[in-house]
Amino acid sequence: MNYHHAYHAGNFADVVKHAVLARLVEYLKQKDKAFRVIDTHAGIGSYDLASVEAGKTGEWQGGIGRLAEATLESQAAALLQPYLEAVRAQNPDGGLKHYPGSPLIVRHLLRSQDRLTAIELHPQ
């Protein structure tokens, strides 16, 4: 299969997938016991939204680009907070230049006792 995620990083499907992932990690953190997240399709971790690939499709603009500019109701903002904090952590200047993949989102949310194993077969 010829697939390169840099063309699709930050699109609406990534937003949904990563928002749910962030909520799952937050749910697991409700217990004191440590846990491990195993990501078997980790990708490259961080995606440059100004790259040629991202610019070719522009899909991120209808995903994280749209969400980042949206005014959210308080309940939606609370649900999306862990995910959006992970995205903001990759963009400390306040802009939206980088999009974190699953491994960076998880790493941002884990506690010191938790573990992440990130696996990627394809060199990117």
pLDDT tens per residue, range 25-70: 999 999 999 999 999 999 888 999 999 999 999 999 999 999 999 9
Displacement of CA 35 from its chain's centroid (Å): 19
Global confidence as pTM: 0.92
Task: Spell out a b/e string for 14-49, using b for 16 or more CB atoms within 10 Å of the CB, else e.
Answer: bbeebbebbbebeebbeeeeeeebebeebbbbebeb
Question: For residues 110 and 25, is the Cβ–Cβ distance under 8 A?
Answer: yes
Give the domains, in start order, of the chain with CATH numbers. Answer: 5-118 (3.40.50.150)
123: pLDDT strictly greater than 80: no
pLDDT tens figures, 65-108? 999 999 999 999 999 999 999 999 999 999 999 999 999 999 99
